[in-house]
């Protein structure tokens, strides 16, 4: 029997995407535009956190937001109503954004005008972590109701992220969630991961996240 050629399509797709992502970062560096990729599961509080951060930073720097969803434009309207430039990206049923989709969004937004662009990725702990979007940094949100074992169950997203926001700490008394364990498990995946316990509802911890983001933008523009 003749031998069968095996083609690693998945590897090829990722390699092409990574090259495009590196090119996007290079273009953003030239424009001094910092792109943040925001990831989490649905309902963790991405948009709520984003509105709290934008309220503190929108008068300090020029910010644009790209909202990615399978459908709807609810989140983009929420951001636009704050007086922040926002566009909605529909993924056509796909559970993530790749570099090509991100680049299309940046062109529509006009990224050369911004100090900071936030990409709110599709709510999912698996697919978005697999594709480099061209972002300078990745930030993910884990909410208390999701449980402290998620770094063990979804290792890749914790590995590729630079910062972890633990949201909804205001409901800690009502859930079996161990802050020490989640930090331990997360640092097993990524020892350099910065952890920020917050409550997007009450505002607790938001300033620490803003401080981290200010520094990241300043370092990128230096």
CA–CA separation, 76 and 66 (whole Å): 8
pLDDT of residue 14: 84
Assess contact for 139 and 127: CB atoms under 8 A.
no
Tell me which range, 85-89, 109-113, 134-138, is most confidently predicted by mean pLDDT. Answer: 134-138
For residue 5, pLDDT over 70 is answered with no
pLDDT of residue 177: 98
The pair of structure tokens assigned to 150 is 């998620």
For residue 148, pLDDT over 80 is answered with yes
pLDDT (mean) for 87-107: 86
For residue 98, pLDDT over 60 is answered with yes
CA–CA separation, 192 and 195 (whole Å): 9
Query: 160-210, pLDDT tens digit by residue?
Result: 999 999 999 999 999 999 999 999 999 999 999 999 999 999 999 999 999
pLDDT of residue 83: 94
pLDDT of residue 60: 97
For residue 29, pLDDT over 90 is answered with yes
Position of tokens 């709520």? Answer: 48
For residue 12, pLDDT over 80 is answered with no
pLDDT of residue 163: 98
Could you give the percent of the chain with pLDDT greater than 70? Answer: 93
Query: 63-92, pLDDT tens digit by residue?
Result: 999 998 766 678 888 999 999 999 988 877
pLDDT (mean) for 131-136: 96
pLDDT (mean) for 90-105: 85
The pair of structure tokens assigned to 13 is 């797709």
pLDDT (mean) for 42-63: 95
pLDDT of residue 138: 98
Assess contact for 105 and 35: CB atoms under 8 A.
no
The CB density around residue 216, as the number of other CB atoms within 10 Å, is: 18
pLDDT of residue 15: 86
CA–CA separation, 94 and 70 (whole Å): 7
For residue 7, pLDDT over 60 is answered with no
């Amino acid at each position: 029997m003749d031998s069968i050629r095996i083609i690693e399509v998945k590897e090829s797709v990722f390699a092409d995407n990574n090259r495009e992502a590196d090119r996007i970062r290079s273009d953003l560096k030239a424009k001094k535009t910092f792109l943040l990729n925001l990831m989490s599961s649905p309902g963790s509080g991405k948009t709520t956190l984003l509105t709290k951060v934008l309220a503190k930073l929108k008068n300090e720097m020029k910010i644009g937001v790209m909202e990615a969803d399978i459908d709807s434009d609810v989140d983009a309207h929420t951001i636009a109503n704050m007086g922040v430039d926002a566009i909605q990206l529909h993924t056509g049923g796909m559970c993530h954004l790749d570099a090509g989709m991100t680049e299309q969004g940046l062109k529509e937004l006009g990224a050369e005008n911004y100090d900071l662009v936030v990409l709110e990725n599709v709510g999912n702990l698996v697919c978005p972590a697999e594709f480099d979007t061209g972002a300078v940094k990745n930030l993910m949100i884990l909410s208390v109701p999701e449980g402290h074992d998620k770094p063990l169950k979804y290792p890749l997203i914790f590995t590729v992220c630079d910062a972890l926001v633990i949201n909804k700490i205001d409901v800690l008394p009502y859930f079996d969630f161990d802050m020490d364990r989640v930090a331990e498990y997360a640092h097993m995946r990524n020892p350099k991961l910065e952890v920020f316990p917050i409550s997007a509802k009450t505002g607790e911890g938001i300033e620490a996240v803003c401080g981290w983001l200010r520094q990241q933008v300043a370092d990128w523009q230096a």
